[in-house]
Structure formats: C-alpha cells, structure tokens
Chains A and B, each alone.
Chain A
Amino acid sequence: MLTIIQEHLEEIVAVLLFAIGFTTLLLQRNLIKKIIGFNIMDTAIYLLLTSVGYIEGRTAPILTDGITSAQYYINPIPAGLVLTGIVVSVSVTALMLSLTVRLYRRYHTLDIDRITLMMKGEDD
C-alpha cells in the first residue's frame, strides 16, 4: 500500500486536487471561490498530464548534441497539451471574472444564490 502511494504520489495528489476543485466549483456560493475552484480543478488535470509525461533522467526533445535515439528524450505531447489547456483555462477565467464584475456591479453581492433570488424579483 505504502509503495503504491509512493510510486503514484503525483497521480493521487492530482485526483484529490481535482475532487477539491470540482466540489468547490459546484458547491461554493461565492463566485470568486467558484472561479478559484475551477482553476484548482484544471491545474490538477495538468499535474496529472505532466507527471505521466515526464520520465526521470531524460530531457526535452531538442536536438542539440546530435543524439537522435528516442530513448534519451521524453514525449513532448503531454507538455503541448498542458500548454493548450492553460491557454483555454486562462481565457475561461478571464470571461468568468468579467461576468462576476458585471454581476457585482448590478447586485452588489458575490453570492450566487442571493443574486438568483434578486433576479427573480425583478422584471425583465
């Protein structure tokens, strides 16, 4: 059991972080905390991807000293996926934050339940 935990430490941490982020995004009523939860959730996935993509003792596949054997390099695709994912989550975070600013200016609270209640009270 202990060896399993030691061997898969990153994966276990990633899954725990994913769970924390997911529940924060789902259950927190504060919009800013929801956005933080979303970021934790996405970062956990990137941790999972990078930890699987990295092999100890190998380097990034950039040809500098003439070594062409694939055994000395790691697979660059997971890193590429993580980069793409980061771009996506940055833009999503920006959009969520701007929406939050708008909602706060209109309702003067960050609590999504109270905002929903106030919205139902007003006519459109």
Chain B
Amino acid sequence: MQFVQNVPFFSIMLCMVSGIFSAMLPGRAAKWVTAGLAAVVAALNLWLTIFMWGYGESYVYWMGHFPAPWGNELRAGVLESTLAVVFSLIMLLSVLGGMRKLNEQVDHKKVNIVCVMLDLVLAAMMSMLYTNDLFTAYVFIEIMTLTACALIMSRQNGRTMVSAMRYMIMSLLGSGLTLIAITITYNLTGHLLMENIHDSLVELSASGEYATPITVIMGLFFVGLGIKSALYPFHTWLPDAYGYSTPTSSAVLSSIVSKAYIFLLIKIFYRVIGMGLVTSSHVMDLMFVFGVAGMIIGSVNAIFSHDLRRMVAFSSVAQIGYIYAGLGLGTGMGFVAAIYHMLMHACAKSALFVSSSGLADASGNSKRFSDLRGAGFRNPAAGVCFSVAAMSLVGIPVLGGFISKLYLSNAALYRGGIHMWVLLAALAVSTLLNVLYFMKTVITLYRPPREGFQAPAPERSPLSGAAMWGFVALNLLVGLMAQPIVTAITNGLMMFE
C-alpha cells in the first residue's frame, strides 16, 4: 500500500472538512477555500491517475481496516481518478467564473453557505465515484439532492424557489425508486458491497431463480437515476432549475450533479449487475429509446426557446440523451463512447453556462437574442469560451464533441441492426438541429449591434475572464487528449470486471 493510494479517502474527507470550515468563515474567504479545495482535489487525483496508469489495475481501500463483507470500502481505478480530475477542475473553474455573480445575486451573509453546498457537492461526487458500497452511494445521492436544491435557490426569487421545489419533488421520486431497488438487491443477495452483490447475482441467475426480481431491480435503478439525471421524458424540472439560478449553480448542476448519477448508474450496471445480465434484459432497449427521443426533442425545444440560458439548459436534455443512447447500445464500445461524451459534455456545458452569463451582462442582462449582437466583441473571453464550447457540442473536429460523436457512431456500426440505423439517423438529425441553434447564437454574438442599442459600460473582471480562458483550454484539452482519455476509460471499464 503506497501513500498515494489514500487519495480517494483524502479527497472525500477534505471536501467534508472544508465544508465545515466554509460554514464558519466569512463569504469572501469561504469562496477561496472552495476554489482552493477544488484545485487541491484536482492535483491529488492527478497524482493518483499518474500512479494508476503505471499500477495497471484497480485496488480496494478498506475504510477502518475491516475486511469485506463487514467493512465499508472505496475502490479506485484509472477511470474513477481521471473523472475525478476533470470534475474537480470544472468545479474550480465554475467557482472562479461565477465568483462575482455570487456576490451580486446572493445575499452577502449567505455566500459562505453556498460555498458549503459547493464543497458538499464535490464530496458527494467523489464518494459516488469511489464508493464500493451501494448504501453509501444512496446516502451521497441524498446529500447531492439536498445540496443541489440549495444551490438552485441560492439566488432567491420566485422562479428559483418554484424550480427548487419541482426539482426536489422529481428528485425524491428518483431517490425513492433507487432506495427500493437497493433494498430489493439487499434482500436478494444479502450484501451491500458491489463485488459481493455481483457474485451472488451471477450465482442466482445461473440457477435461473429470481429472474423477474433482477429485471425489476434494473428497471428501478434505471428509472430512479434517470429521473435524477434529467433523462427525457423526466426532464421537466431541468430548464427552470438550470435557467434561472446563479451561473456557478447552473454550471455545477449541469456538469457535476447530473453526471454523478449517470456514472453511478454505469457503475451499477457494469459492476454490480454485470453486462451479461444487463444485455439479456430489455432495460437497455428502453434506455436506448429514451436516449434517442431525448436527443431529438431536447434539441427541438432548444431551438424554440427565446432565452440564452434556457436554450443551453434544453441542450442538456439532448446531450444527456446522447449519453443514454450510447449506454443503451449495450456494448462495451457504447459504454466507452457514453463515458467520453459525459466528460466532454461536462466540460462544454459548464463553459456555456458561465460564459452565457458573461455575455448577458455585456448586453444589459437582456433576454432577447437581438440584444446579444456584438456581445462577443464586448466581452471577448466569454465570446471565445461560448463559441468553443458550442462548437464542441456541435461536433467540429479537434474538439471533444466530434470525437464523442465519432465513437458513438462507431459503436452503433459495430452494434449493427436496427440500433445502428436509428442511432445514426438520430445523430445526423440532432447534429443538424445543434448547428441550427448553436451556430445561430455564435453568429449573433459576432454581428454588429442592433440600431440604437445602448451597450452597458464594460465591466472588468479578470478573474472570470481567466476562468473562461481556463474553460477554453479544458475543452481543447479534452478534444486533443482524446486518445489517452479513451484509453483510460477502456482500461477503467476493464478493471470494473
């Protein structure tokens, strides 16, 4: 056991402890604690990733040194640590990029509480990545739900309160279904650790008993976590929740919170239940259908929305659809494509939310698209950041979106049959729709302003500018380093078995 192998435990504990300190500190200091925490966690996990790359296999970390089946366990592989690096970097950039907005939109006595929530989101994310125990995962699902609700209402007005309520209602339905799925799993197998459950389930399915309960478990996990990650048709809470909160909240919600649930679902399907059982059931087909429907309908909704941030929010529905469609192929390649898409979308969507708030500021907080004309010149960093992220989601080569679409279509081709035709057609249509709304916006940003438009006085904000350039670099890196990332995902998935 080397010292670096403690990193998963350290990341979780650091986030929790910083949460406690943030609660006691004044707002300004708390924000820097949160940003510093994200940076430290990113660095620690980078160290772990480099170590895992050489180590070549995953390892299990006993919390409290009790061996399985008694103790609680963490488990780390190269996939988990890579995702942890990217998600903590996103957290860092979102906090820096939205820092000024937090001062404006949040009651200044409550800024430190928002920081506590951000710390806890990171803690829950790290736990969901690393935990090897289903019930621990459930506890952190709930922590994430509560903190996400608090983040939505960090900016207090009628819309955010109502959307927080609607988010809570949908989310609680999801947690209820997840909890009963965990309960039935525990009843069937008598275990809570993922490997033990997997072994028991393999035995059970070989004996042919309990085929129906196992299918029910898969369905419950899928619907429960699908509701929480805003899969179409359970996405109704999403546009308001993402569209009206502070930019930091929207960025964190869209790129960290929803991705944590998807990753947990992948972990449950791949490790706990096992691909053999999953592919032989029809749950994957259901996933595929919902995913494809989301790809199209999310994009159509985005075209018809008249508000920049709502448009970006609806595009999330489409991108989550891509992820589920990739998973729904039910092949290893589909999973790799879905995980890469998840990573790429997390980077691009947080960049879009942070930069669109900068662009709206440069246009006098107007909601009309015509007032956004020329905003790319008034706030150059936000303009470039928005354009790069939008092009990435559309799928311009070099950027991440192109590569994930390539892998998705590749996976579809290898899958063959009706899945191939449906996914290829949906990819083509959805990409066209993406071009329609994203390119329209990017062109609007660089057109001369409308006649008689009074541009607000430019505000200098070097910090959020730096964060936006950071987002540009992150998006470029995810695209340029696609090969090592995909290798990490493939190796990580192999370690799951």
Binding site for B on A (CB under 8 A): 18, 21-22, 25-26, 31, 34, 38, 41-42, 45, 48-49, 52, 77-78, 81, 84-85, 88, 91-92, 95-96, 99-100, 102-103, 106-107, 112, 115-116, 118-119, 122, 124
Residues of B within 8 A of A103 (CB): 161-162, 165
Partner of A84, one of B139, B168, B169, B173: B139
Q: Is B485 an interface residue (CB 8 A)?
A: no
Residues of A within 8 A of B135 (CB): 81, 84
**B173 & A106 in contact (Cβ 8 Å cutoff):** no
**B179 & A42 in contact (Cβ 8 Å cutoff):** yes
Q: Mark interface residues in B291-323 (1 if CB within 8 Å of A CB, else 0).
A: 000000000000000000000000000000000
Given A18-B180, A95-B146, are A25 and B173 neighbors across the interface (CB < 8 Å)? yes
Given A22-B176, A48-B180, A84-B139, are A96 and B161 neighbors across the interface (CB < 8 Å)? no
The 9 closest A-B pairs by CB, nearest first: A88-B142, A119-B162, A41-B176, A119-B158, A52-B187, A124-B159, A124-B157, A45-B180, A38-B172
CB contacts under 8 Å to A, within B129-150, are 135, 139, 142, 145-146, 149-150
Given A45-B176, A45-B179, are A31 and B158 neighbors across the interface (CB < 8 Å)? no
Q: Is B166 an interface residue (CB 8 A)?
A: yes
**A115 & B180 in contact (Cβ 8 Å cutoff):** no
Residues of A within 8 A of B166 (CB): 112, 116
30 A-B pairs whose Cβ atoms sit less than 8 Å apart in the complex: A18-B176, A18-B180, A22-B176, A22-B177, A26-B169, A34-B169, A38-B172, A38-B176, A42-B176, A45-B179, A45-B180, A48-B187, A49-B186, A81-B135, A84-B135, A85-B179, A88-B142, A92-B146, A92-B168, A95-B146, A95-B150, A96-B168, A99-B161, A99-B165, A103-B161, A103-B165, A106-B161, A115-B165, A124-B157, A124-B159
Residues of B within 8 A of A115 (CB): 162, 165
Given A38-B172, A119-B158, are A88 and B139 neighbors across the interface (CB < 8 Å)? yes
Binding site for A on B (CB under 8 A): 135, 139, 142, 145-146, 149-150, 153, 157-159, 161-162, 164-166, 168-169, 172-173, 176-177, 179-180, 183, 186-187, 192, 244
**B162 & A116 in contact (Cβ 8 Å cutoff):** yes
Min CB–CB distance B349 → chain A (angstroms)? 22
Q: How far is the CA of A81 from the CA of B192 in the complex (A)?
A: 11
Min CB–CB distance A40 → chain B (angstroms)? 10
In the complex formed, the residue of A with least CB distance to B141 is A88
**A22 & B164 in contact (Cβ 8 Å cutoff):** no
Min CB–CB distance B212 → chain A (angstroms)? 14
Residues of B within 8 A of A81 (CB): 135, 186
Question: Assuming A48-B183, A84-B135, what are 12 further A-B pairs, CB within 8 angstroms?
Answer: A22-B177, A25-B172, A25-B176, A34-B169, A41-B172, A52-B186, A84-B139, A96-B172, A99-B161, A99-B164, A116-B162, A124-B157
Partner of B168, one of A95, A118, A122: A95
Residues of B within 8 A of A88 (CB): 139, 142
Residues of B within 8 A of A41 (CB): 172, 176
Residues of B within 8 A of A21 (CB): 176
